[in-house]
């Protein structure tokens, strides 16, 4: 049984947490057609959070039937946290306890996410390994986006521009984003969705990164839509699939 945090308010970044617009949610979200409940999402970031912003904008436009109820970051001054502040999304600081012994523990973070009735956790440029306690508490409910076609160019040390530099140096002709479920290791969870991007002959890492990022924004929104509409199914061998929205007998 998870213990209650001693005082969770000390881990809420008060400069980022807009009290007037943010509150713990009841989980009794408005039902969609067919009786599907709106899903509560937690997003984890370490930087600018462009995928976080894309998903939030899709929610505002009504294409993603969910709510981002909390943002978790290890870098309170990052651009994504500023965006959350501007949009009344509470921000929780979750740092490495080895570096800051008084930081929020993994068990306390799980308890806090439960308090917000979180259904799914979306990692969007979060550079730390997810604690085992969180992986176990949210089995098959944590997703990450990686800027290469996993299992190629994944694992510890492969992040950001390092991935694109390695792709170009390898001579690979294709790259692209991968969305996968999170397990206790870096980039080894079950693959849910991918989008192929060509690697051009004279590409720089920055040029390839921009092309992949454009597809990341589209793909993550599509996956968030599917999650919130309960179109995710698991094959008998443990492979996750997404049912087509128009024809449920087909898979994306």
Catalytic positions are: 146
Question: Minimal CA–CA distance to 120: which of 82, 171, 69?
Answer: 69
Question: Minimal CA–CA distance to 54: which of 224, 247, 230, 171?
Answer: 224
Please answer whether residues 202 and 176 qualify as being in contact, where contact means their C-beta atoms are separated by less than 8 angstroms: no
Backbone angles phi, psi at 39, to 5 degrees: -95, 145
202 backbone φψ class: left, alpha, beta (φ>0; ψ -120 to 50): alpha
Chain centroid to CA 138: how far? 13
């Amino acid at each position: 049984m998870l213990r209650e945090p001693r005082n969770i308010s000390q881990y809420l970044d008060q400069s980022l947490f807009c009290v007037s617009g943010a509150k713990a949610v009841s989980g009794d979200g408005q039902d969609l057609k067919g009786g599907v409940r709106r899903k509560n999402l937690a997003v984890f970031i370490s930087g600018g959070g462009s995928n976080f912003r894309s998903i939030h904008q899709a929610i505002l436009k009504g294409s993603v039937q969910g709510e981002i109820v909390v943002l978790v970051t290890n870098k309170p001054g990052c651009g994504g946290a500023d965006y959350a502040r501007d949009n009344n999304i509470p921000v929780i600081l979750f740092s490495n306890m080895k570096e800051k012994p008084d930081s929020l523990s993994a068990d306390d973070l799980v308890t806090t996410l439960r308090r917000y009735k979180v259904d799914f956790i979306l990692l969007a440029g979060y550079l730390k390994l997810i604690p085992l306690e969180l992986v176990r508490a949210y089995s098959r409910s944590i997703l990450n986006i990686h800027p290469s076609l996993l299992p190629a160019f994944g694992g510890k040390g492969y992040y950001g521009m390092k991935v694109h530099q390695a792709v170009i140096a390898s001579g690979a002709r294709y790259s692209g984003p991968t969305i996968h479920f999170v397990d206790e290791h870096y980039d080894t969870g079950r693959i849910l969705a991918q989008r192929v991007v060509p690697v051009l002959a004279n590409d720089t890492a920055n040029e390839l990164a921009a092309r992949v990022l454009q597809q990341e924004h589209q793909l993550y929104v599509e996956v968030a839509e599917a999650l919130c509409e309960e179109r995710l199914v698991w094959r008998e061998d443990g492979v996750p699939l997404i049912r087509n929205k128009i024809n449920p007998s087909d898979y994306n």
